């Protein structure tokens, strides 16, 4: 049983990594059609021209240029100057010099405008082949492993029982997923080198 679970996990991991590749040129604005195809799961995106979105151009000292895009409806994590608060909210709107986030407290939806010049850093998800996908699939595999051991007959011939080895393997998989999750996140400082700007579809 464990052998089949491992094979299924590897197939899912490879398939997800292949499908996650970004075919668009990161250095250019998106056309309305590209935006619609890229964000077809976001109901705030309609594929119309002139839609604004945030762009963070990351130029590391070592490594290749990367462009991160944030659309209305996306969740964004950031920090601003002279504040210790870590913001984690959904983008409700974007203008030429700011963006608006939602802030729900006590069943009351509030909105806060954040000028782009106030941002100090943004936390982004890095696309690391296999590692990023493993952040999601390793914990799932760990739970499936423990569940399979619990349901199937063990060395004692009894169902609905687990031994310590199953929890060790399952726990190790879930811990590995957490490590992969941390490796897939990066905090990028917003400055003259790593510029945050607004672009729009054409």
Q: What is the pLDDT of residues 83-101, one digit of tens each?
A: 888 999 999 999 999 999 9
* Spatial separation of the C-alpha atoms in residues 196 and 116, rounded to whole Å: 7
CA distances to 3, 44, 131, 162 from 158, in Å: 20, 52, 36, 9
Question: Do 58 and 137 belong together in one domain?
Answer: no
Range(s) of the domain holding residue 138: 1-21+128-183
Question: Is 26 within the bounds of a domain?
Answer: no
pTM for the full predicted model: 0.63
Which tens digit of pLDDT belongs to each residue from 39-83?
Answer: 545 545 555 678 899 999 999 888 788 899 999 999 999 999 988
Task: State how many domains the chain has.
Answer: 2
- Strand 196-200's sheet: what is its strand order? 66-70, 52-58, 196-200
Question: Do 69 and 138 belong together in one domain?
Answer: no
């Amino acid at each position: 049983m464990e052998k089949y679970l491992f094979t299924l996990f590897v197939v899912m991991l490879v398939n997800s990594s292949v499908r996650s590749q970004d075919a668009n040129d990161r250095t250019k604005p998106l056309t309305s059609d590209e935006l619609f195809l890229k964000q077809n799961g976001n109901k705030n995106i309609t594929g119309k021209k002139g839609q604004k979105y945030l762009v963070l151009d990351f130029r590391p000292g070592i490594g290749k240029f990367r462009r991160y895009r944030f659309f209305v409806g996306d969740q964004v994590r950031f920090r601003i100057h002279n504040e210790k608060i870590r913001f984690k909210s959904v983008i409700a709107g974007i203008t030429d010099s700011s963006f608006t986030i939602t802030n729900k407290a006590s069943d009351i939806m509030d909105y806060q405008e954040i000028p782009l010049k106030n941002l100090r850093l943004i936390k982004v998800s890095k696309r690391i082949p296999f590692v990023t996908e493993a952040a999601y699939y390793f914990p799932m595999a760990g739970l499936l492993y423990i569940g399979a051991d619990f349901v199937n007959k063990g060395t004692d011939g009894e169902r609905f029982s687990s031994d310590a080895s199953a929890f060790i393997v399952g726990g190790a998989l879930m811990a590995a997923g957490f490590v992969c999750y941390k490796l897939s996140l990066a905090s990028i400082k917003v400055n003259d080198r790593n510029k945050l700007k607004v672009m729009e579809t054409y």
